[in-house]
Structure 1
């Protein structure tokens, strides 16, 4: 039986894609007014990012272990590779490492050091290797190789959500001038959300994001997903600019960022996840 790949709901993999590649998904959690809502399972208000005092939580070791146990059984013992949201952004990776101890070397946990479709790209690289007959070592290696070919950029309209969630250091020197700032952010090699460039307008920040993606891709083929939080028009414009700039792209899609991530980045945010071939 093929090795089975597991990810979490931060990956933004569409149901039909998960089904095609048999990627199992563990839901992360949105906590609203005392109610625990499972991302990708329960109905979550579309404006969740604007709700006061809403928080998020990672998957628990018990939830992860249950999914790993079923995936391992379905693999016929060939093994499981679990690809999760950056350990610098969520407790899910550390919970996954703890859960995997129950299964020994049969379950390999990979820190994607990414978010949104950045996680999805890494999981799909692993799943493609598994589908081609790769053994557990090969599938894990495919996931880890994909990490180095994947990058995520983000432009937020306001920093309030990031401040509240603690996903960016409040001691960062540029936060003091944030009222007039539309920063271009990125995930660094450790999967931390950091400042890439200081920019004064949204339009220039989006243009800078296109430049950064183009610089990473160069002449190579690549897959791109443009994410947004209630800002489809800007995402479409950004996608058109990337398509014009990089006609060799193998795919470009526009997708919402999902409730979990939207809580941390706020309304209007636009991001790009890119994986070079």
Structure 2
């Protein structure tokens, strides 16, 4: 493995800790603000904390890392022997994280290539893992960044939420759409499109929405080699059966992971989230 190329991502990739350790990936945390208290994702606040706070109707907001946090990560990489960094992050349409990374990159002691994945969750995580495999294969930094961009571009994320209210409060979906969904008692299916959260379909019941989410994932996966992650927030009883069905139905699946989203995404979607990430394996 080339020891002189460091990989950095942010906490919304929700990578398994084993993968972070194996590939020596540096993870910069975003923050959740509960009331007036700022807590680092994955360090000081858990998904369970967020679900409980939302059910209690506490005020929650999220914030990007400041540029100095990224600057410290890039300095640490250089001090550890890296001669370059590839820094891969969640969609700039959803957060200022990539912008903060670029500000820090301008003054970093080594060259830093910042990649906006236009994604979040393991859709971002799979792009980071593709970059790790490319680095381990000996590719140069620009080629590693290009591999991350290719896998991100090929990946899709679809999700169901019990209510659009949390997305509306966080400004991640328009008020008119959120109110329309509530008025019609619609169970919305959404997806990431060009880095933004957009409505995909409207379904009348939760059970039908989850069944449709499964069908969409199977259709998107096709017959080629893919990795799949089923994300949830406080809904493991929905996630595990869905994951098992996808293992049985997707012929080219390489792995199906089940993972709870972290505090930052949880704060915007609310308990009951069910999402499927489909990431084709690069040739």
- Please classify the TM superposition score into its range, dividing by the shorter chain length: over 0.9
Aligned counterparts of 1:92 and 1:157: Cα–Cα separation in 2? 27
CA contact (8 A) 1:2 1:131 kept: no
Aligned counterparts of 1:219 and 1:117: Cα–Cα separation in 2? 21
Q: Secondary structure at the match of 2:187?
A: coil
Judging changes above 3 Å, is the alpha-carbon distance between structure 1 residues 187 and 75 closer, same or farther for their aligned structure 2 residues? Answer: farther
Match for residue 76 of structure 2 among 50, 70, 83: 70
- In structure 1, stretches of 5+ residues that fail to align are none
Aligned to 1:255: 259
Q: Secondary structure at the match of 2:143?
A: helix
CA contact (8 A) 2:85 2:110 kept: no
Q: Secondary structure at the match of 2:253?
A: coil
Deviating more after overlay: 12-21 vs 34-43: 34-43
Aligned to 2:246: 242
Aligned counterparts of 1:5 and 1:123: Cα–Cα separation in 2? 8
- Which segments of structure 1 move beyond 6 Å, counting only runs of 4 or more? none
Aligned to 1:215: 219
Aligned to 1:83: 88
CA contact (8 A) 1:4 1:127 kept: no
Q: Secondary structure at the match of 1:48?
A: helix
Judging changes above 3 Å, is the alpha-carbon distance between structure 1 residues 142 and 56 closer, same or farther for their aligned structure 2 residues? Answer: same
CA contact (8 A) 2:42 2:263 kept: no
Q: Secondary structure at the match of 2:129?
A: helix
Q: State whether structure 2 residue 154 is matched by structure 1 residue 149.
A: yes
- The CA deviation at 1:166 is 0.8
Aligned to 1:48: 50
Aligned to 1:98: 103
Match for residue 66 of structure 2 among 60, 66, 71: 60
Q: Secondary structure at the match of 1:196?
A: strand
Q: State whether structure 2 residue 106 is matched by structure 1 residue 107.
A: no
Aligned to 2:18: 16
Aligned to 1:118: 123
Aligned to 1:37: 39
CA contact (8 A) 2:181 2:188 kept: no
TM-score (norm 2): 0.92
CA contact (8 A) 1:154 1:186 kept: yes
- In structure 2, stretches of 5+ residues that fail to align are none
CA contact (8 A) 1:83 1:111 kept: yes
- The CA deviation at 1:214 is 1.6
Q: Secondary structure at the match of 2:48?
A: coil
Aligned counterparts of 1:2 and 1:204: Cα–Cα separation in 2? 50
Aligned to 1:205: 209
Q: Secondary structure at the match of 1:187?
A: strand
Count how many residue pairs are aligned between Structure 1 and Structure 2: 274
Judging changes above 3 Å, is the alpha-carbon distance between structure 1 residues 251 and 56 closer, same or farther for their aligned structure 2 residues? Answer: same
Cα RMSD over matched residues? Answer: 1.6
